[in-house]
Structure 1
Amino acid sequence: MSQKIDRYEIRGKIGEGAMGEVFQAYDTQTERDVAIKMLSARSLQGDHLKRFKREARTIANLEHPSVVPLYDFHLTEGEEPPFLVMRHMTGGTLADKIRNGPLPMDEAYQILRRIGEALDAAHSRGLVHRDLKPANILLDQDGYAYLADFGVVKDDMAAESLTSGGQPGTIPYMSPEQIKGETLDNRSDIYSLGVVVFEMLTGKLPFAGNLNTIVQGHIHEPVPSVFTIVDHLSEEVDEVLRKAMAKEPTARFRKASHLSRLLEAASQSPSAYLSTRDALANSADDESEFRLAYPPIKDVSDTAPSPLLPGTVKSSETRRWQLLAAGLTAVLLVFFAWFGLTQVNQDQGVVAINPTSVPTATEIVETVSIPTIEIPEQTPIPDTILVLQEASSAIWQSGDEVERIPEDGR
């Protein structure tokens, strides 16, 4: 490759990914350093080129202060490969920073706040990032965070699919529904953001090990309590992360900004956490978002009961009236039954009625067993790993590529 592309002088290589390489360059026209993301020759066909063009359009139309800005692009094939020209971030990636250990809460919150704002902006336009991870969060020289890499973004308004059966993303940060190949919305990004925050605060992933262990963890296992890893983190912080990483999408935050605001309050005090949660609940379109809590996994036998969630008093009072009404109804039914039987006995000389044996509640409750996902120990081809086996399909990973293959192989 030559040392100059168009008006850009290549100064050095920054990194590389599945689709191409990133270089530091100098713009001779604007006289500033830039980063050039260049599509590799092997990626010029099929989904990679489509993703590359989608990324350029997405960033150009998003225009958010917490999204890495796009300066220029070249998308046609010719003597020069397709490339994007973006702001050069000298602070590295969030992944680089986490390698040095957990981040202080204040620093983690500032990163979360900016990335949360960028995600909310993308979600409001019907975009789902689908590959949110520390390596895709870049830092400038002052430590400000920027969201990057929209190459596998899902556009709800787009008619075409970015992949033909593949499942883009990075498994350690994927939501359960993304791993299983289900329909995604913004709450999948909320889950991934929760994983990123967990890693920022603890220096560890919530689910680690081989790919099979990670997949099973995201789908089935509870989120580890953060205060068992970093003892100064509070139960309120733990509850926020559990909600962000709830297995069911409907149990998560609807907005990334709700996650960041509640985490900030949780890091201050229990009272600040409760008041912020109540304020967000009162302003939310669906208050049930803040009536779902995920208590930490710990021994609570010698602890005081947790404070009531917003709306609990009202629902408890309603249940008491319902139980009272049901009790009165039962008394009346017994009375009328007794009165009727008495009249029958008097008129027809009935001596007694043999009671019918009624099964108890435990006798009629059926135990429903949830089948576990069994992953056979096999490898179809070298360097290809079976990640998840289901009834009608399977997820395989080969290098950086993750693909779902139906049972019939089509």
Structure 2
Amino acid sequence: MGIKSFDKDFLVHYKIDSFFSPEKKGGQKVVLFPVIEGVKQVMKIYESGKDERFDLEMNIYENFKGHPGLPIISKIDEYHGELIVFEEYIEGDTLADIISSYKGDADKIRKLLSGICDIMAPIWRCRYVHRDLKPENIMIRKDGSPVVLDFGIARDLDGATITATGIQPGTWKWASPEQYAGKKDMISYRTDFFSLGVIAYNLYYNTMPFGDTINAIDIKFKSGNESFSMDNSCPLKEYLRESMRFSVAQRPRLVEDLIALI
């Protein structure tokens, strides 16, 4: 199979001039960064081929296309039996790379949270859950606006469960108690609310609220002790406290309720 070795036929077939960044591997896909006819693009190779997870991810992009907070899917193709998706390359930084620039800046964090909620609100209202919101999956454009990436383990609350409900590799820092416990019946858009609370805390304090290891966080969740270190003067304290409730039922009930706390 020619994809992994970038044989000449593969490069010519897709008119690839060069690669501007090293490849990345995550989950069931390999991500390449080719320059095609002078334009930077993202090329995702799905090793598992087309399945229900892939269909759900593409359906979300299709149903909500046109929103500047989601990348544009320009082409879906198959090459030598492997599925390839061409996606818009977002100029900017991943939030993970610029976390320190948000430290202590509540207004900047509020603006970012509002932007993310603007992207996710129509998706949540259609009963989709991202389930993997984390700084690595949020791009920040040059103008400061966010783009949400990678709906690869998203869940349709009205559909069958098609991926494991528990935490995924690289997700444990931002996962909710119900994800740690593997309680698939408790997964909802309020699972994403929790992850956004952890992200906001990390941005403001540049530390994690419930521990720095998967075991420490698991023990904290099982203890039921929701306490975390926070200054009384923190302008985000109400948002952090309510979005990071361990009980799903105690988190903001509606998307509008979450937005009102920002």
8 Å CA contact 1:10, 1:23 repeated in 2: no
* TM score, norm. by length of structure 2: 0.83
User: Which of the pair has the greater relative contact order for Cα pairs under 8 Å at 6+ separation?
Assistant: 2
The amino acid of 1:90's aligned partner reads E
Q: CA deviation at 1:37?
A: 2.0
User: Which position in structure 2 is the counterpart of 1:210?
Assistant: 213
User: Which position in structure 1 is the counterpart of 2:162?
Assistant: 162
User: Which position in structure 2 is the counterpart of 1:233?
Assistant: 234
Q: CA deviation at 1:80?
A: 6.0
Q: Is the aligned partner of 1:171 residue 2:211?
A: no
2:41 corresponds to which of 28, 34, 39: 34
SS of 1:23's equivalent in the other structure is strand
Q: 1:124 to 1:10 in 2, by over 3 A?
A: farther
Largest Rg, 1 or 2: 1
| Bigger fraction of residues in strand | 2
Distance 1:9 1:81 in 2: 21
Distance 1:4 1:167 in 2: 41
Q: CA deviation at 1:260?
A: 4.0
Distance 1:59 1:22 in 2: 17
Distance 2:167 2:18 in 1: 30
Q: CA deviation at 1:6?
A: 2.6
The amino acid of 2:202's aligned partner reads E
Q: Which runs of 5+ in 2 are unaligned?
A: none
User: Which position in structure 1 is the counterpart of 2:62?
Assistant: 60
Q: CA deviation at 1:10?
A: 4.4
1:258-273 → structure 2 map (5 Å cutoff)? 258-263=257-262
8 Å CA contact 2:167, 2:180 repeated in 1: no
Q: 1:256 to 1:203 in 2, by over 3 A?
A: farther
Distance 1:238 1:166 in 2: 29
8 Å CA contact 2:128, 2:157 repeated in 1: yes
Q: Is the aligned partner of 1:252 residue 2:256?
A: no
8 Å CA contact 2:165, 2:179 repeated in 1: no
1:299-310 → structure 2 map (5 Å cutoff)? none
Q: 1:103 to 1:85 in 2, by over 3 A?
A: farther
User: Which position in structure 2 is the counterpart of 1:401?
Assistant: none
* TM score, norm. by length of structure 1: 0.55
RMSD: 2.5
8 Å CA contact 1:55, 1:150 repeated in 2: yes
User: Which position in structure 1 is the counterpart of 2:33?
Assistant: 24
The amino acid of 1:105's aligned partner reads A
Q: Which runs of 4+ in 1 moved over 4 A?
A: 7-10
Distance 1:257 1:85 in 2: 34
Q: Which runs of 5+ in 1 are unaligned?
A: 264-410
1:381-396 → structure 2 map (5 Å cutoff)? none
1:355-394 → structure 2 map (5 Å cutoff)? none
Between the two proteins, the alignment pairs up a number of residues equal to 247
Q: 1:221 to 1:84 in 2, by over 3 A?
A: farther
